[in-house]
Amino acid sequence: MKVKKQHRKKKYLHKLNRRRMNRKQKSTGNVQCSIVKEAWNNKKTSARNLREMGLVSDPNKTIKIPNFKQTQIQRAKQMVNQIDSDEEVETVVRLPPKKEVAEKLEKQAKAPRKRMFMLPKGQVEFITYLLDKYGNDYKAMERDKKNYYQETWKQLRSKIKTFMGIPAQYSVYLQERGMLDKELDEDELKKQAIALAMDD
């Protein structure tokens, strides 16, 4: 006697959009990095694309943390078999076909970045007011009536040094006061800021 196969009653679910679901499952996501985007192949999986570029999706699988138990077992085996630990096992390292992608990313990561940090407008106004009124006399700045937060002279000095270290804001201040004719580059401004800070 044959056993009848019980087919699950298939229902059409109106709330699911099958086309959108399939598209979402097949997609590998948007690649934001321009260097990776150029070498990306949409026909391959994201893991394979990264492997070919010399990159990894999961660093834990690549750089494994040594297991204490396994290292102890290996050491015991070496002692029993009297294997010299100096003998190195040769491992064949295959270079990825698109290794230049990893090299470009490494070069981009090591490149110096432009400083994007800026002080708030209110803080800049307060610092410029103090500099105009007291110059480099930080002890007098501490006793000023506009020092609402009762900052110490050392805190005020560090704020002023930070302000002097931001070329975009400090150069505007110097130009408005007529202390600077031409726009200096970032290194020259930093040197000038250090020299002014050392005067105190």
Burial of residue 108 (number of CB atoms within 10 Å: 0-12, 13-18, 19+): exposed
Which of the four pLDDT bands, split at 50, 70 and 90, describes residue 138? very high
Q: Report which of residues 107 and 87 the model is more confident about.
A: 107
Q: Report which of residues 88 and 96 the model is more confident about.
A: 96
Which of the four pLDDT bands, split at 50, 70 and 90, describes residue 127? very high
Whether the predicted model's global pTM rises above the 0.75 cut:
no
Task: Judge whether residue 114 has pLDDT over 80.
Answer: no
Q: What is the pLDDT of residue 53?
A: 92
Q: What is the pLDDT of residue 185?
A: 62
Mean pLDDT of the chain: 83
Task: Please say whether the beta carbons of 196 and 138 come within 8 A.
Answer: no
CB neighbours of 185 closer than 8 A, spacing ≥ 6? Answer: 167
Torsion from C-alpha of 57, 60, 63, 67, nearest 10 degrees: -160
Mean per-residue pLDDT for 163-176? 87
Q: Give the tens place of pLDDT for each residue, 115-125.
A: 788 999 999 99
Task: Judge whether residue 165 has pLDDT over 70.
Answer: yes
CB neighbours of 46 closer than 8 A, spacing ≥ 6? Answer: 28, 29, 57
Task: Please say whether the beta carbons of 40 and 49 come within 8 A.
Answer: yes
Mean per-residue pLDDT for 37-64? 87
Q: What percent of the chain has pLDDT over 70?
A: 80
Task: Judge whether residue 31 has pLDDT over 90.
Answer: no
Local structure of residue 14 (DSSP, 8 states): T
**Helix/strand/coil (H/E/C) assignment for every residue in 139-172:** HHHHCCCCCCCCCCHHHHHHHHHHHHCCHHHHHH
Helix count and strand count (H, E) for the chain: 11, 0
Mean per-residue pLDDT for 69-92? 75
Per the structure block, which two tokens stand in for 25? 């499952």
Which of the four pLDDT bands, split at 50, 70 and 90, describes residue 5? low
- Give which of 174, 81, 167, 186 is closest to 131, Cα–Cα: 174
* For helices 153-164 and 121-134, angle between their N-to-C axes, nearest 10 degrees: 110
Task: Judge whether residue 84 has pLDDT over 60.
Answer: no
Q: Domain-by-domain residue ranges, the chain?
A: 31-88+95-109, 121-198
Neighbour count for residue 127 (Cβ, 10 Å): 21
